[in-house]
Amino acid sequence: MGPSPLGRRPRLLSLRTTFAVSFATVTAAVTLVVGVLSYSAAARLVRVDQESVFDQVVQDLRAEVRLQPLSPVDFASSARGHDIVRPARTDVQVLGPDGGIFDPAGPRLPVTDADRRAAGAATAGRMVEHEDVDVGHDVFRVATVALGGGRGAVQVAQEFSDTEDLLRVLQRRTLVLMGAVVTGAGLFGWWLARRITRRLVVLTSAAENVARTRRLGIQVPVTGPDEVGRLGRAFDLMLGRLAQSEEDQRRLVQDAGHELRTPLTSLRTNISLLRRVDELPPAAREELIADLGQEARELTDLVNELVELAAGQWAGEPPQPVDVARIADDVAAVARRRSGREIGVRARGTTTVEGRPVMLTRAISNLVENAAKFAPRGSGPIEVVVAGAALAGTVRVEVLDRGPGIRDADLARVFDRFYRAADARSRPGSGLGLSIVREVALAHGGTPFAYRRDGGGSVIGFTVVGAAAEDEPLSDAPGG
């Protein structure tokens, strides 16, 4: 037979068939061993018992003829009261002094020359034994015992063929029983395998359906407290997270496309003006170049933030012990140099947490940059408060400013991607800074928060779970 066509894979046995065949094979092996051992033991016991009975009869006969002189008449079938005459499970044939048959009284046994010599022997108890003597269709074991004094001999025979017939019947019944056990085991294994793999088949069908249709919102109908049920729940949860991730990616692409249109349109407009740059006055020319630089920077920042979001929020960075207050000090130092603003840092309690330093640095930087952008110069210093809360077991980061504050209608949406309040749309920015803060907080088991500050301004921050903190208040502002 030629090779299989290209792309056609060999058909493999299903798990159900493999389980049933394995179950039947193991059962067959065990049944075979037990059956063979049981039959051998039973056959050995039967043969040994039969041989013991025959040997005992022969020994009793030899002892009898040695104790007293007996004649063939004493062993005739008509004789009464003699224990050796027609013993149980044996046949007796009496030979005369000449070796002829005096009294067959049963199956006619063959008489050999050795038997005739035993009949004429002078010594009582002399024995001649024959194995596997065929008499008709039966097989006998024969022992000839001399009466002594030339008075004749007695032949004692025991049939072995009926015992072997019985053992052959036992053998056939054992084989039939073994076949029935193996068949029953195979059927039971098939039923058990079907019961075990039924939910696996459902789970496999669901996975194949997902692979074929690429639809992730499929309900997996696999339940139960065992491993298969756990696998089904894990698979269902995985599909749900994949569906949510796909939806988030779709929204990110749609929002990014919407946000990219404005700077790209502005860039195209300004680039078209570059063709008439020689016609523009020097002041307009400088303004055009400044606009191009600003738009390029905003576009670069937007693309960088989109890449960070799409890359999974630095998920590859390993967690490690991090002092959040030290990170806040470093971020404040950099922000002072860039903006020339007064930025203070206050730390309370134990601020060490198991976290990702790059992610936390970016989140605090976004908060400080957001405060510097919306709080006008001269409005007061920007404060960064990092404190540990013993009751909740968290570290809390707050950035306080004295800017215009956040309207109540915008508080619930400031952490949404690309969301910008109406009075902030004229300012530079992509609307992704605070959404990155939210992602960092969620990645560390915390939550973001924002609320209006007493006396004007805003308080925006997030919590990080996992620090060993002291029991100290966070700030004098209300919680958000």
Number of domains in the chain: 3
pTM beyond 0.85: no
pLDDT score for 202: 77
Task: Check which CATH number belongs to the domain holding 293 and give it.
Answer: 1.10.287.130
Quick check: is 13 in a domain? no
Confidence at residue 462, expressed as pLDDT on a 0 to 100 scale: 93
Q: How many residues does the chain have?
A: 480
- Within a domain: 195: no
Instruction: Classify residue 185: in a domain, yes or no.
Output: no
The confidence score (pLDDT) of residue 479 equals: 34
Provide CB contacts within 8 A for 420, sequence distance 6+: 429, 431
* Alpha carbon distances (Å) from 110 to 9, 97, 116, 135: 73, 16, 11, 8
Query: For 324, how many CA atoms within 13 A lie in the half-sphere containing its CB?
Result: 36
Q: What is the pLDDT of residue 420?
A: 53
Among residues 159, 175, 199, the one where a domain terminates is: 159
Q: Which one-letter amino acid corresponds to residue 324?
A: V
Residues 294 and 342 in one domain: no
Q: Which domain does 421 fall in, by range?
A: 320-465
Regions of the chain with pLDDT less than 50: 1-10, 85, 313, 422, 424-430, 467-480
Q: Is the same domain home to 396 and 325?
A: yes
Q: Which pLDDT score, from 0 to 100, does residue 385 have? A: 92
285 and 378 co-located in one domain: no
Question: How many Cα atoms within 13 Å fall on the side-chain side of residue 244?
Answer: 6
Same domain, 347 and 455: yes
